[in-house]
């Protein structure tokens, strides 16, 4: 497990944040964040006051890279400031619970040390390029670049049906809070929500699979943006278990009981056919361009034949 509980001894009254800094070798800010997340404990009591004087045995819950699979793959690029990985589909970027198990953070910390951190989001289901900073200064700069939209991203998707023309989709997107009627995590709204734009460029249509390889260029960075926008224009991403399937299939997926065979039938693939293919950004007056080493165009072999999948209702 990536999160482990470790016991330390405070021999004399000490401010909690100083105790955490000393024993874990981290900065004051990092120590305060750890305390704020409820990861300091004395007996059964969670310690949340960073200035509280503590003494005796204190337990701290910390992240440690998993021993298994962490050398499974290596960065495709590494300098003194950051690393670039080609993430496979199906691996979490960050552990979302203490029991989440293996994630990309394990890989990043294994190759970059305890100070390395991932600089942006990439869904578990999405494969492709991922940036990890090697130190705090680089992490702040890279995260700011993503927030300011100065990082140019491109994706490739295998989408249902034939897309014949370039498209530009602009909508408002809002996170759903009611899953009683559908399982869509993000909804298109008329007035509420945040404006979002994605440009789509069809590259190749496979008639036998009734699937189009699409280059996707998001101009904003909203949750599930590409998935929602392609679903909105009737070309949902093959393998998508939430957008483009009925309530029952989506519910079974979210409950973790949808089998690979069922998923292939209902969605058209055993995995989400979305891949982060290109990154362009400037870092410390130097311009970087990275392209994925994965030939995603050839991954049409992962698409379920038409005769073995449910006819789309969307």
What would the two tokens of residue 150 be? 């100065």
Q: Do domains 77-147 and 152-308 have the same CATH topology?
A: no
pLDDT above 90: residue 172 = yes
Q: Report the distance separating Cα 36 and Cα 82, nearest Å.
A: 27
Is there a contact between 132 and 280 (Cβ–Cβ < 8 Å)? no
Which spans in 163-301 are helix H?
225-232, 247-254, 260-267
Is there a contact between 217 and 201 (Cβ–Cβ < 8 Å)? yes
pLDDT above 80: residue 252 = yes
Is there a contact between 60 and 97 (Cβ–Cβ < 8 Å)? no
The second-level CATH assignment, the architecture, of 3-63 is: Roll (3.10)
Mark residue 67 as left, alpha or beta (left: phi above 0; alpha: psi -120 to 50; beta: remaining): alpha
pLDDT above 80: residue 105 = yes
Terminal Cα distance for the chain, rounded = 40
pTM for the model: 0.78
pLDDT tens digits along 285-298: 899 999 999 999 99
Closest CA to 217 of 122, 152, 161: 152
Q: Report the distance separating Cα 197 and Cα 92, nearest Å.
A: 26
Q: pLDDT averaged over the chain? A: 88
Q: % helix / strand / coil in the chain, to the nearest 5?
A: 25, 35, 40
Say which DSSP state 295 is in.
-
CB within 8 Å of 79: residues ≥ 6 apart: none
Query: Domain ranges in the chain?
Result: 3-63, 77-147, 152-308
Closest CA to 77 of 122, 153, 131, 127: 131
User: What is the third-level CATH fold of 77-147?
Assistant: Alpha-Beta Plaits (3.30.70)
* pLDDT value of residue 23: 85
Q: Which CATH number fits domain 152-308: 3.30.70.360, 3.30.2350.10, 3.40.605.10, 3.30.1120.10?
A: 3.30.2350.10
Helix or strand run (H / E) with residue 152: strand 152-160
Can you say how many angstroms the Cα of residue 314 is from the centroid of all Cα atoms in its chain? 26
**Which residues, in sequence order, are bridge partners of residue 186?**
175
* Of 212 and 258, the one with more pLDDT: 212
Q: What percent of the chain is predicted at pLDDT more than 70?
A: 92
Is there a contact between 92 and 122 (Cβ–Cβ < 8 Å)? no
Closest CA to 110 of 83, 129, 137: 83
pLDDT above 60: residue 99 = no
Q: How many residues does the chain have?
A: 314
Catalytic residues: 123
């Amino acid at each position: 497990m990536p999160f482990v509980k470790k016991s330390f001894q405070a021999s004399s009254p000490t401010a909690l944040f100083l105790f955490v800094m000393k024993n874990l070798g981290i900065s004051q800010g990092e120590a305060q964040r750890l305390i704020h997340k409820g990861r300091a404990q004395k007996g059964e009591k969670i310690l949340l006051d960073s200035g509280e004087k503590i003494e005796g045995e204190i337990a701290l819950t910390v992240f440690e890279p998993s021993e298994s699979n962490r050398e499974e793959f290596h960065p495709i690029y590494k300098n003194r400031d950051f690393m670039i990985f080609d993430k496979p589909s199906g691996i979490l970027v960050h552990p979302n619970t203490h029991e989440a198990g293996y994630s990309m953070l394990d890989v990043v910390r294994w190759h970059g040390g305890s100070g390395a951190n991932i600089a942006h989001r990439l869904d578990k289901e999405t494969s492709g390029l991922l940036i990890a900073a090697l130190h705090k200064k680089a992490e702040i700069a890279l995260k700011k670049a993503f927030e300011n939209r100065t990082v140019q991203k491109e994706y490739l998707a295998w989408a249902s049906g034939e897309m014949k023309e370039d498209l530009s989709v602009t909508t408002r997107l809002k996170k759903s809070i009611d899953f009683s009627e559908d399982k869509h995590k993000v909804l298109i709204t008329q007035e509420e929500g945040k404006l979002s734009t994605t440009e789509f460029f069809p590259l190749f249509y496979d008639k036998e699979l009734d699937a189009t390889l699409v280059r996707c260029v998001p101009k904003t960075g909203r949750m599930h943006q590409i998935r929602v926008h392609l679903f909105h224009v009737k070309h949902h991403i093959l393998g998508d278990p939430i957008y483009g399937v009925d309530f029952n299939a989506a519910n079974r997926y979210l409950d973790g009981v949808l089998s690979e065979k069922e998923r292939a039938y209902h969605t058209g693939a055993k995995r989400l056919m979305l891949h982060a293919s290109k990154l362009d950004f400037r870092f410390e007056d130097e311009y970087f361009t990275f392209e994925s080493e994965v030939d995603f165009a050839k991954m049409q072999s992962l698409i379920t034949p038409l005769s073995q999948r449910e006819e789309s209702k969307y």
